[in-house]
Amino acid sequence: MAELFSILFFIGFIITCVFMAKPSLSQFKNRPALTRKKIALYGFGTCLVLFALIGVFAPKPPASTTAVVENKKNETAAVEPKVESKENSLEKELETIKGYNKNIIAVRTHGENVLEIDLPATEAFSDAGYLDYTSRTTRDILIKILKNPPKQQFSTIRFVVFANLTDQYNNKKNEPIFQLTYDYAEIKKINIDGDYVDHRLFMNFAMFGLRSPVAHEMFEQWCAKGDNAERSGSFCR
């Protein structure tokens, strides 16, 4: 549309200039020729109107290069997913592991290679029962970890067992009594696809750590019970 008005503007301007130079050309049939004043009024007035219409219908100039680049940057920022920090990712993994068993007290890391999980010592009918229950609980947790491997590359998984102890002054404290430390690289080799995995199979790749004298009898009685020593490999040696 702007091109059409431009053509009409130039045609009108030329005709106006011609009539201004020779007013007699503006005579039509029996009508008298226009005066130069009227020619200027009609001709240049029409040209001004056409010039205004050209401005109205002229195409808008494209956005500046800077503006386009800024828009693209904003669009890219909106599309790109936020990269989760390593700390937040690890924190979420620890929360996930904590949800694997209702008895888990806390989950934390030592450095980059050790995953440590706190468990309570459950009441048992014998000293051997404490370690028996704990080894079954750790098996269940380890299976879930193996089925959902954390992104953090752990080499060791340590379970620390806490119990309520009473000292010689009758003061009660919740303190660690023993720990089971598993070689993560070795337990990853265990076939866990079956319906049942003996908890003592995992004990083949665990080390018992004494944290309180009260746990010594627990260890001794568990290893002396039935075929525990035979099925747990070097754990009892």
Q: What would the pLDDT profile of 129-182 be if each residue is shown by its tens digit? A: 999 999 999 999 999 999 999 998 899 999 999 999 988 899 999 999 999 999
Whether the predicted pLDDT of 188 surpasses 90: yes
Give the H or E element holding residue 142.
helix 127-147
Question: Side chain identity at 122, as an amino acid letter?
Answer: T
Tally Cβ neighbours within 10 Å of residue 40: 14
- Residue that finishes a domain, picked among 18, 46, 79: 79
**pLDDT range class, residue 83, cuts 50, 70, 90:** low
Claim to verify: residue 176 and residue 70 sit in the same structural domain: no
Cβ atoms 21, 36 nearer than 8 A: no
Q: Give helix then strand counts, H and E, for the chain.
A: 9, 5
Claim to verify: residue 136 and residue 33 sit in the same structural domain: no
- Residue that finishes a domain, picked among 64, 79, 94: 79
Quote the number of domains for the chain: 2
pLDDT for residue 8? 64
Claim to verify: residue 73 and residue 100 sit in the same structural domain: no
Whether the predicted pLDDT of 18 surpasses 80: no
pLDDT for residue 109? 95
Separation between Cα atoms, residue 208 and residue 205, nearest integer Å: 10
Higher pLDDT, 161 or 127: 161
Higher pLDDT, 207 or 42: 207
Claim to verify: residue 98 and residue 214 sit in the same structural domain: yes
> Structural domain of residue 40, as residue ranges?
2-79
pLDDT for residue 158? 98
pLDDT for residue 30? 65
Claim to verify: residue 45 and residue 138 sit in the same structural domain: no
- Residue that finishes a domain, picked among 31, 55, 79: 79
Claim to verify: residue 103 and residue 156 sit in the same structural domain: yes
Claim to verify: residue 62 and residue 139 sit in the same structural domain: no
Claim to verify: residue 160 and residue 63 sit in the same structural domain: no
pLDDT for residue 111? 85
Rounded to the nearest integer, the mean pLDDT of the chain is 83
pLDDT for residue 160? 98
| Alpha-carbon distance values, 144 to 97, 99, 135, 141 (Å) | 8, 10, 14, 5
Cβ atoms 107, 159 nearer than 8 A: no
Give the H or E element holding residue 139.
helix 127-147
Whether the predicted pLDDT of 200 surpasses 90: yes
Claim to verify: residue 106 and residue 51 sit in the same structural domain: no
Separation between Cα atoms, residue 104 and residue 153, nearest integer Å: 21
Claim to verify: residue 9 and residue 33 sit in the same structural domain: yes
pLDDT for residue 133? 94
Q: How many CA atoms lie within 13 A of 84 on its CB side?
A: 9
pLDDT for residue 49? 67
Q: Please state the rounded mean pLDDT for residues 202-215.
A: 96
pLDDT for residue 17? 72
Give the H or E element holding residue 164.
strand 156-166
Q: Please state the rounded mean pLDDT for residues 98-112.
A: 94
Separation between Cα atoms, residue 118 and residue 189, nearest integer Å: 24
pLDDT for residue 40? 64
Separation between Cα atoms, residue 205 and residue 135, nearest integer Å: 12
Claim to verify: residue 179 and residue 116 sit in the same structural domain: yes
Q: How many residues does the chain have?
A: 237
Claim to verify: residue 131 and residue 213 sit in the same structural domain: yes
